[in-house]
Structure 1
Amino acid sequence: MGSNSLHVLKGIDFEVAEGEMVSIMGSSGSGKSTLLNILGMLDEADEGTYHLDGKPIKNLNEKIAAKYRNQFLGFIFQSFNLINYKTALDNVAMPLYYQGVNRKIRMEKAHHYLEKVGLADWATHLPNELSGGQKQRVAIARALASDPKVLLADEPTGALDTTTSYEVMELIQGINDEGKTILCVTHEDDIAHMCKRIVNLKDGVIIDDSPVQQVRAKEAQKKALHHV
């Protein structure tokens, strides 16, 4: 920022194995989003190394970075980031368009992933005709459409109520059960425990990195309903 520089991450050293489901936690300003942006190739670290699927991610021009992102990564955001004037189906098909997949196959795949998230009947609806939970499901389908190796979820339940959050987490857990690697940034303790490992950040440093007994979202939802 002008002549001021802010040292956000201070010697982060960690590894995520294929098929893991890891939560990254920390208070506001701890470095969670910066870490996720570096992992997602949206930002580049000033020092150190980052390897994705064995490939060093360093000094990539935007074209190659975009290609790698499209090939390796799926993104799920708190604010959904759907294109308002496009239908659910077109939103899901978007990453495949950038991969140069022909329209017929794009639409078939997009329909398959909408079906997977339980929204096949909403394919022709625009985002403003969908609930928050449905929008996030469309965003998850879009993230899966290019069959990425890793899903990066930034506060995926941050804009949702508890019941809908647990439904979305049940879907994300199911995707992980199928073998996808998932990193989930959250500040919600119950959501973090729906992962299998929690990495805690404080002031740009990992203060704890531990496996946890995963809470299944379906069970948590039953308990929540029972308490009501």
Structure 2
Amino acid sequence: MIEITDLHKSYKTGNSSLHVLKGINFNVNEGELVAIMGSSGSGKSTLLNILGILDEADSGSYILDGLPIKNLNEKIASRYRNQFLGFVFQSFNLINYKSALDNVALPLYYQGIKSRERYEIAMDYLRRVGLESHSHHLPSELSGGQKQRVAIARALASHPKVLLADEPTGALDTKTSYEVMELIQAINDEGKTILIVTHEPDIAAMCKRNVVLKDGQIIDDKMVVQQRVKAHV
């Protein structure tokens, strides 16, 4: 599903250059649930941006579902993001003046799906994350955990090949974090490929594979015995 080979990325900082990724080799098979870990400055956010086609490596190769991701103009990059990827962010990134239903339906608008069908799909995904009764609530009327559920429903509604989650529990308390991870585990059980950037060991333990970055290199990559979440959702 994802093939990363000898990936390098640097950023200009004044007159010097900061080498952030230093030869990353990293493959992900369909259906995996992978935690990407590392301290601040380790390169995990840069790697996630490249995986999400939000940034491009200086050298090396990135193949997503058989397609090389390189030298894309913004129109094609946007189409690939919409076609292959779903995003979940720590800050939820919901549109404050739109209802939960409108937020989930929005990506389907950009896929050209007609209004009635996209709202039916959006309602189905809100039902799947347990928020059907909150479909007409604004984000300001939802708890943090509910907002993240809406964000997950929005990410899934367009049927992405890969779900990329950047610190999805970072703004949540422990109980709510575990509820969100229970939902993510259930989605993964259905076969969805999911990558989670996290600095929390207990969240990483709920994944099936842990990849650790330090100073722009992978220093550990191992399968783990997944801790199943026992939370009331």
Q: Normalising by structure 2, report the TM-score.
A: 0.93
1:87 — aligned with what?
A: 99
1:114 — aligned with what?
A: 126
From the two aligned structures, give the one with the greater helix fraction. Answer: 1
Q: State how far apart, in whole Å, the 2-side matches of 1:123 and 1:174 are.
A: 21
1:94 Cα offset (Å): 0.9
Tell me, which stretches of 5 or more residues in structure 2 are unaligned?
1-12
1:145 — aligned with what?
A: 157
Q: State how far apart, in whole Å, the 1-side matches of 2:215 and 2:171 are.
A: 25
Say which SS state the counterpart of residue 101 (structure 1) adopts.
coil
1:26 corresponds to 2:44:
no
1:178 Cα offset (Å): 0.2
Q: State how far apart, in whole Å, the 2-side matches of 1:217 and 1:160 are.
A: 16
1:146 Cα offset (Å): 0.2
Q: State how far apart, in whole Å, the 2-side matches of 1:211 and 1:44 are.
A: 28
Deviation string 1:139-173 (CA, Å, 9 cap, x unpaired) is 00000010001000000000000000000000000
1:15 — aligned with what?
A: 27
Deviation string 1:44-67 (CA, Å, 9 cap, x unpaired) is 001100000010000011111111
2:68 — aligned with what?
A: 56
From the two aligned structures, give the one with the greater strand fraction. Answer: 2
1:76 corresponds to 2:84:
no
1:193 corresponds to 2:202:
no
Identity in percent: 77
- 2:18 corresponds, among 6, 30, 40, to 6
Tell me, which stretches of 5 or more residues in structure 1 are unaligned?
223-228
2:58 — aligned with what?
A: 46
1:217 corresponds to 2:229:
yes
Say which SS state the counterpart of residue 12 (structure 1) adopts.
strand
Say which SS state the counterpart of residue 61 (structure 2) adopts.
coil
Deviation string 1:156-214 (CA, Å, 9 cap, x unpaired) is 00000000000000000000000000000000000001000000000000000000000
2:137 — aligned with what?
A: 125
Say which SS state the counterpart of residue 5 (structure 1) adopts.
strand
1:6 Cα offset (Å): 1.3
1:205 — aligned with what?
A: 217
Q: State how far apart, in whole Å, the 2-side matches of 1:85 and 1:210 are.
A: 43
1:226 — aligned with what?
A: none
